[in-house]
Amino acid sequence: MVATEVRPARRSALGRAAAPYALLLPSVLFMLALFGWPVISAVQQAFTGTHGGATQNWHDMVAEPHFWQSVRNTLLLVVVLIPVQFVLAVAMALLLRERLPGRGFYFYVWSVPLAVSDLAAGLVWLSIFTDNGYLNSALGWFGVNPVEWLSYQNASTMFLAVFLAELWRATSLVLIILVSGMQMMPRDYEEAAEVFGASFWQRLRHVTLPLMRPSIQVALILRTILAFQAFAVAQALTGNEFPLLVGQTYLWFAGLNDPHVASAVALVVLGVSMLTAIGYLVMLRRPDRSQGGER
Amino acid sequence: MSIAPPAPPAPPAPPEAPAVAAEPLPPVDRRPLRRRRMIRAGQQVAAIALTLFMGVPVYLIALAAFSSRAELNRFPKALWPRDVSIDTMRTFLHSTGVVPSFINSVEVGIATLIVSLLIGAPAGYAIARYAFRGRDGYQLFLLTARSLPVVVLSIPLATMFLRLNIYDSVLAVTLVHAVLALPTTVLITASVFVAVPAELEEAGMVFGCTRFGAFRKVVLPLSVPGVAASSIFTFVLSWNEVLAAAILTLNNRTLPAQVLTTLPYSPVEFRFAGGFAMVVPSLVFILLMRRYLTNMWGATIR
Amino acid sequence: MSNQHQTSGISRRSLLRFGATVGVTAPLLAACSQSTTGAKSGGGTVNLLSTQHTPTTEADAFRQILKQADSSLSVNFTPGEASPTISQIQAQVQANNVKTNAFLGTHGDLATLGPNMLEDVTSLIGELGSAGFSADNLTLTKLGTSKNYYVPVEQATYVLAVNKKALDWLPSGADVNSLTYDQLLAWMQAGKAANGGKPIFGLPAGPKGLLHRFTQGYLYPSFTGGLVTTFKSADAVTAWQYFKNLWSVTAPSSTNVDFMQDPLSAGQVLVGWDHVARLVNAPKDKPDDWLMVPAPKGPKGRGYLAILNGVGIVKGSPDQDRTKQLIKDLVKPEVQLSIVRQLAFFPTVKATLPSDLPPAVRLESDAVTKTQSGGMLSLPSVGMGANDAKFTKVFQDCFTGIVLNNADIQQTLTTQGQTMQQLITDSKAPCWVPDPKSSGPCQVG
Amino acid sequence: MAEIRVRNLVKLYPGQRSRANDDISLDVADGEFLVLLGPSGCGKTTLLRMVAGLELPTDGQVVIGRRDVTYLPPRERRLSMVFQSYAVFPHKRVRDNIGFGLAMRGAPRSTIRQKVEWAADLLRLTEFLDRYPAQLSGGQRQRVAVARAIVVEADVLLMDEPLSNLDALLRLSFRAELKKLVGELGTTTLYVTHDQVEALSLGDRVAVMRDGRVEQVADPMSVYDRPASVFVGGFLGSPPMNFISGSVHAEPDGGVRFGLDGAAIPAPRALASYADRPLRLGVRAESIALADAQADGAVPTTVQVFEPLGSATLLTVDLAGQQVKVQASASYRADPGDRVWLSIMEEHQRWFDAETSLALDVDTPLATAPT
């Protein structure tokens, strides 16, 4: 295009202020066009019912014997698993940065579980923990007689199995986000911190982690939301003995052909996820962006 | 302007040739070196342990997928390929619809990648560059798509696509997968665009790019790791998504819809064969994308 | 082309380019998807959705059977999980853009779709009068109305698979082919004791397991002679007490077992109760190590549940005569026989079973005939429509409460009984076999 | 406060063929301000980073005070540093940035507050203490980096091209401020730069480096006026020192002349022993005198380029086929093609061996062999 473009000297204020909204528009329209009506009809369903008033569905939901147990299990999984996962992912990211020999291979293997669907992951860990599985076989080679890891009678080993399977499956998500965030961080800050006497832990607390705040925030939000959706792995390992919240949605929708109560449970999941997301957004607000306006 | 030394200031009395050399030098202290080597060895051991934890399960599903039926029923199982047979895998791959659905899945995966990046990346850029009102509200709005279990949307979605007459097609599945992938695409690209220094981009604009040109020529190349990370998520999400694919397709099913819905009902050896077949393509995709994900070991060495 | 006004940095040219790329990819995607059902999609093909024969090997076997039955008819057979499949049909009917011609499913699945999603096939049943459908099956196909809404094509029941190794601990004087529940319990207790406390008996109590059929179709009729009318009777309490004792000798891993054939062929358990199609793989490798025997007898006789699969025509689907042709093919005796030979589902029409059945299927067919002779037939819920699943859930909740969590039996039955009564009254379903006929909605006794 | 002693330091980066630091030995006296000067890639920053402990040497030893610190991690070396990219923490306020070093060493809050205010006042940052670095200009951020470095009473202060990211005007003013500041503190300082003006103006001594080796260490005047090698002469001063190639031969009357084709320049008698060997004469543009034709020892040249520079004029002349730059007074005028006679006084002549390009040890008192 030969003619050099003559741009107006000063773009209208509207043009500049509208820039972010123009960039967001396609995604908002796309979401509303495809998920708008379905979400509305799902919400409607939650408050209409074949029998009884608007609250009947919610009453049925709570009356289901496994409901409160599934809420407890889901929260237990989220509260216990996510902190451990973040500690592990940060450690792995820092190990990768140490440029150990073979790090390319390490990073590939560490990001592999991301590729495994939760159904396949359930299968993998079932093959390990089941009574005649690989773990008991390995114990057998050492003369230790097999343990019934997944039996509903020993709840602690059952939780441990689900915990390890979920730890294995979902840590790669956090790792990859942290690693891609860490890319952009120049090493000068950490070198400066080291010169001025900061120990490894002090560097981590005062420099490395604060600088990775955007990635940590994204990883936390996405990981928590996906944690509330976790269900297939727990079902593959323990059947219905370790019920999770989303499992209740499937139970009502597929098992009992009652989309109304299923929508109610779905809204509970949505609500809890939103609350945690808002919590993270507020908690990890970036103080140094206080200069506001377009940078 | 010739640079001559300024009028020679009365040179501060330079300390006479430093007589410090007289004192004897202390011996070289090698203790920190040994400590450093120990730390590195510890790091290597930790890395290997983590690699075993992450890698062994995948090895086991591969082992199970290629073990014979008899081996799977035996106890204690061998942790090494003792009784290998590929007929389960062969029958699985030759069963109707597995290969065509594989092609459909790849198509959907890549199409979802393109659509979600085209729509998501600009939004990610907007979040990274602007602190506008409603920024957090927008992020929450995006997250609703991912936090509402898709199962309750299945019937309204299906009816909508039927009315639009794009039912039972790769396009229908792509659109739904793109919506599901949008939140991750936007948030991850945003978290990396934030790190691209604004000065570089403003420099781009000084040289005559439009803001969009600067985005394309300056910001995008620099934030390749972020784009790579989000594309891995998008592909893997689309590749492993079962429910929307199962509901929206009839004859043109994706691999998960074709396989995963029937896996739980198939005998044990088919479940492992199917599970492993599902994993391999994603392994390959991550292998391809890994290089773009990090330029960490290429970090600038001053 | 110099665009004067730069709208917020997104030049119109790049928007055009973006629109073009999406415009091009969309039809491309729609056009070049691969058919995954092995048949050409489009006109002249019968789309048959199914919740049965989902395992990959079974699905291909069924496709072969259809091809041999009538090569002129091209059928897209798409098996899948019940919920997405049923949702698909519901969505298609709601959007009155029906692409699925026929649906093969269990009586429960067909009841969930119900009369407003299935065409009335009474005339087709009339045409096939000579096939010899059993009266009980035909009542089932009416879904509690006066017209037939599907054609029965396969039936099955549940039997006990026994690894001959277990016979060593059979109590003396007990005939394995006509056990009583008490003899089964004693047998399993002896087996467990002799096996170092490791139970040799298994039940499919997993999420997709059919354990609730054991409670509904076997325990209740055998101990109480009924189901709904005797739900919380004294006999019911003894039945559940028995179930607790039986569970104490059942492998705890059963809570994660959906198909008994898996633990049985792996040798984890020696004796297991399940659907014939979910046991058939157990004896496959070594048929002569196995026995298939009818379920035991209780105080009120040998209760057994007949499971019926049928094909319904989706309401408003095109090419209905081609679909009728498919159904006619399915009920042909030679097709019914190839179904039993390859898929272990028994004919619903008069057809003499050939002698060259595969050994496992032969074992099962003997057990089935023994079960039917002198057994007390009971049917899955009739007329419960969409509440059929919730009705089953009552029994699942009872099992979890009473057997797994040791809740008080009478108290659990009373509370669950109220839920059941609510469900039955909502569905206005009269009693069904094994309960005596009732005029109004069946009353929980 | 402590002196720095570097002995035979070698650094070979993995995958590189040439050594970044090739057997460097150097001493920085207690309280001295030594500048490491050299073109980019000469290894000056690598040397600084090894003294700081941010890089580990392949061989050799680094001693600070009486303690060997060769392999010690940076935080145990009691030093502070100003980085080229400032490395001011973006997520901390200026106050916390400056007090970072003290906070890390667990100093009581009151001392930190008091010292931070002292440093902020010294660098005129008092009103910015509660701002974030993103809200400051480049110069202010540099000041924060310096404040952070001086608030920690470290034995050694290291600076890695701290002024290179500033614009020209700010660099000038900040240089003087920095010199005064470091002079008052009196801390032993090692300063890296590629800018020769900074080196000459700031350093008590200047170490000129090339390809991982130290060519010459001396006070600014000697380095400028008595370069130990052709490289040092060419690197310092603008325009760089002229180098005229030729050889000397003895005259019947005992004198020595430096012969070019068609001309000859009188040379010191001591060079007699170098007769007939190729030499190079180094002379600063401002040390060449413009003479009229008859002056003894004058040589004819033709003017190629005449550049008026405001405070002086710069001529590029052709002396027997070789280009020479001559600095004349502001009022001097000449046109290309004019013939001009030059004379180079003996005390301004610096002689270098053509092969080794090292300075010759002519008996004039100032000549010093490179250490």
| A294: in domain | no
Q: Which residue of B has its CA nearest to D74?
A: B32
Using the predicted structure, report yes or no on whether residue A81 has a pLDDT greater than 90. yes
Q: Is B296 on the interface with A (CB under 8 A)?
A: yes
Q: Do D3 and B20 touch (CB under 8 A)?
A: yes
> Chain A within 8 Å of C205 (Cβ-Cβ)?
yes
pLDDT at C4: 36
Residue in D27, D201, D286 nearest the CB of B4: D286
- Check residue C238 and give its pLDDT: 93
In a domain, residue A108? The reply is yes
CB within 8 Å: B278 and A133: no
**Does the C45-156+307-378 domain belong in CATH 3.30.930.10?**
no
What is the mean predicted confidence (pLDDT) over D134-155? 90
CATH, residue A231: 1.10.3720.10
Minimal Cα–Cα distance from B172 to chain A, Å?
10
pLDDT tens for each residue of D51-109: 999 999 999 999 998 899 999 999 999 999 999 988 999 999 999 999 999 999 999 99
Q: Where are the alpha helices (DSSP H) in D207-366?
A: 220-225, 230-235
* Arithmetic mean of pLDDT, A219-224: 90
Instruction: Please give the single-letter amino acid code of residue C118.
Output: L
**Is pTM beyond 0.95 here?**
no
Q: pLDDT-based confidence at A9, cuts 50/70/90?
A: very low
Enumerate the residues of chain D whose CB falls inside 8 A of the CB of residue B15. Answer: 29, 31-32, 204
Query: Closest to B5 (Cβ–Cβ): which among D30, D70, D220?
Result: D220
Residue D369 has pLDDT above 80, yes or no: no
**Range of A51's domain?**
42-113+170-285
Strands (E), chain A: none
Question: Quick check: ipTM above 0.85?
Answer: no
Q: What is the pLDDT of residue C31?
A: 56
> Has residue C18 got a pLDDT over 80?
no
* Yes or no, beta carbons of C55 and B158 under 8 Å apart: no
Identify all chain B residues contacting C88, using CB atoms and an 8 Å cutoff. Answer: 158, 247, 250
Residue A96 has pLDDT above 60, yes or no: yes
Total number of domains constituting chain A: 1
Give per-residue pLDDT as tens, A239-257.
Answer: 888 899 998 998 888 888 8
Contact C78 B264 (CB under 8 A): no
Shortest distance, CA A170 to any CA of chain D (angstroms): 29
- Residues B285/B192, Cβ–Cβ less than 8 Å: no
Q: What is the mean pLDDT of residues D314-330?
A: 89
Domain boundaries D4-234, corresponding CATH code: 3.40.50.300
How sure is the predictor about C28, in pLDDT bands with cuts at 50, 70 and 90? Answer: low
> Looking at B261-265, C97-101, C163-167, C426-430, which range is the least confident one?
B261-265
| E strand residue ranges, B110-178 | none
Pairing of strands D188-193, D33-37: parallel
Percent of chain B with pLDDT over 70: 89
Q: Which chain A residue has its CA at the smallest distance from B143's CA? A: A274
Contact C390 A256 (CB under 8 A): yes
Q: Would you tell me which residues 382-441 of chain C have a C-beta closer than 8 angstroms to some C-beta of chain A?
A: 386, 388-390, 393, 397, 400-401, 404, 426
Which of A152, A253, A260, A294 is the best mutation test for C, with the most CBs of C within 10 A?
A152
Kindly tell me whether chain D and chain C come into contact, counting contact as 3+ Cβ pairs under 8 Å. no
Give the mean model confidence (pLDDT) for residues C194-206: 91
Q: What pLDDT score does D370 carry?
A: 40
Angle of CA points C192, C197, C199, to nearest 5°: 45
Q: Say which of C11, C84, C95 has its CB closest to residue B154.
A: C84
Residue-level pLDDT at C12: 57
Confidence at residue D217, expressed as pLDDT on a 0 to 100 scale: 93
User: Could you tell me the residue ranges of all domains in chain D?
Assistant: 4-234, 238-353
**pLDDT over 90, % of chain D:** 41
State whether C83 and A8 contact (CB < 8 Å).
no
pLDDT at C41 over 60: no
Of B155 and D146, the one with more pLDDT: D146
Q: Of chain D residues 42-81, which have a CB less than 8 A from chain A?
A: 52-54, 73-75, 79-81
Structure letter (DSSP) for residue C297: B
- Chain C residues touching residue B99 (CB < 8 angstroms): 34
Chain A closest CA to B221's CA: distance in Å? 13
pLDDT for C26? 55
**Residue C437: left (phi > 0), alpha (psi -120 to 50), or beta?**
beta
For residues D190 and D158, the answer to whether their CB atoms sit within 8 Å is yes
D290-308 average pLDDT score: 82
Residue A193: pLDDT band with limits 50, 70, 90 = very high
The pLDDT mean for chain C works out to: 85
CB within 8 Å: D90 and A211: yes
Residue indicated by tokens 């996962």:
A85
d(C-alpha B157, C-alpha C92), whole Å: 11
Q: Is residue A123 in some structural domain?
A: no
The shortest CB-CB distance from D238 to any of B3, B31, B32 is to B3
Interchain contact B32–D (C-beta under 8 A): yes
Query: What's the confidence (pLDDT) of residue C260?
Result: 92
Q: Which of A239, A247, A236 is nearest to A121 (CA)?
A: A236
In whole angstroms, give the CA distance from residue A123 to residue B62.
Answer: 11
B/C interface, count of CB pairs below 8 Å: 171
Pick from D100, D134, D135: CB nearest A196: D100
Partners of residue D119 in chain A, C-beta under 8 Å: none
The number of C-beta contacts closer than 8 angstroms across A and C is 84
In this prediction, residues D222-251 reach a mean pLDDT of 88
C112 interfacial to chain B (CB closer than 8 Å):
no
In this prediction, residue D366 has a pLDDT band, given cuts at 50, 70 and 90, of very low
Q: What is the mean pLDDT of residues D334-338?
A: 87
Q: Give CA separation, D54 vs A81, A93, D232, D261, in Å.
A: 37, 21, 28, 54
Cβ distance C268 to A241 less than 8 Å, yes or no, reads no
What's the pLDDT score for residue C211? Answer: 93
Q: Which domains does chain B have, with CATH numbers?
A: 35-85 (no CATH), 96-294 (1.10.3720.10)
Q: Is the pLDDT of residue A216 over 80?
A: yes
| Residues of chain A contacting D83 with CB distance shorter than 8 Å | 188, 191-192
Dist CA A28 CA B186 (whole Å): 12
Mean pLDDT, range A9-32, rounded to an integer: 73
| C328 min Cα distance to partner chain A (Å) | 31
pLDDT category at C283 given cuts 50, 70, 90 is confident
Enter the tokens of residue A214. Answer: 């955007």
pLDDT of B169 higher than 90: no
The alpha-carbon gap from D150 to the nearest alpha carbon of chain A, in Å, equals 11
- Identify the CA nearest to A64 among candidates A272, A238, A274, A258: A258
Report pLDDT for A292: 33
pLDDT in tens, A159-188: 999 999 999 999 998 998 888 778 778 888
Q: Which residues contact A62 (CB under 8 A, 6 or more apart)?
A: A68
Chain A within 8 Å of D105 (Cβ-Cβ)? Answer: yes
**Mean pLDDT confidence for D133-138:** 89
Lowest mean pLDDT among B66-75, C152-161, C331-340, D236-245: B66-75
Least confident of A239-243, B247-251, D293-297, D338-342: D293-297
CB contact A256 to C (< 8 Å): yes
Chain B nearest-CA distance from D261, in A, is 30
Chain D positions touching A284 (Cβ under 8 A) are none
CATH of the domain spanning D238-353, picked from 2.60.40.10, 2.40.50.140, 3.40.190.10, 3.40.50.1980: 2.40.50.140
Q: What integer is the mean pLDDT of B185-206?
A: 78
Averaging pLDDT over each range in A233-242, C283-292, D20-29, D264-273, which range is the top one? D20-29
Query: Is residue A187 situated within a structural domain?
Result: yes
Option in D75, D80, D85 nearest A186 (CB): D85
- What Å distances lie between residue B119 and B145, B189, B209, CA to CA? 15, 12, 21
Considering only residues C383 and A265, tell me which one the structure prediction assigns the higher pLDDT.
A265
Yes or no, beta carbons of B147 and A19 under 8 Å apart: no
Please tell me if the domain spanning D4-234 has the same topology as the one spanning D238-353: no
CA atoms within 13 A on the CB side of C244: 16
Which of B103, B167, B270 lies nearest to residue C56, judging by beta carbons?
B270
Ordered DSSP codes for A172-215: HHHHHHHHHHHTT--THHHHHHHHTT--HHHHIIIIIHHHTHHH
User: What pLDDT sits at residue D368?
Assistant: 40
Could you say which of A194, A211, A286 has the minimum Cβ distance to residue D75?
A194
Lowest mean pLDDT, pick from A219-228, D22-31, D225-234, D359-368: D359-368
Mean pLDDT for all residues in chain D: 87
Answer yes or no: are the C-beta atoms of B274 and B263 closer than 8 Å. Answer: yes
How far apart are the C-alpha atoms of A80 and A83, rounded to whole Å? 6
Q: List, for residues B219-269, the tens digit of each pLDDT value.
A: 777 777 778 878 888 888 898 888 888 888 877 888 888 877 777 778 888
In Å, how far is B18's CA from the nearest CA of chain A? 27
With a cut of 90, say whether residue D15 has pLDDT above it. Answer: no
User: Which pLDDT score is estimated for A290?
Assistant: 39
- Closest residue in chain A to residue C209, using alpha carbons only: A239
The pLDDT value given to residue B217: 76
Question: Chains meeting B at 3+ CB pairs closer than 8 A?
Answer: A, C, D
pLDDT digits (tens, 9 = 90+) for B18-30: 444 567 888 888 8
What pLDDT score does D358 carry? 85
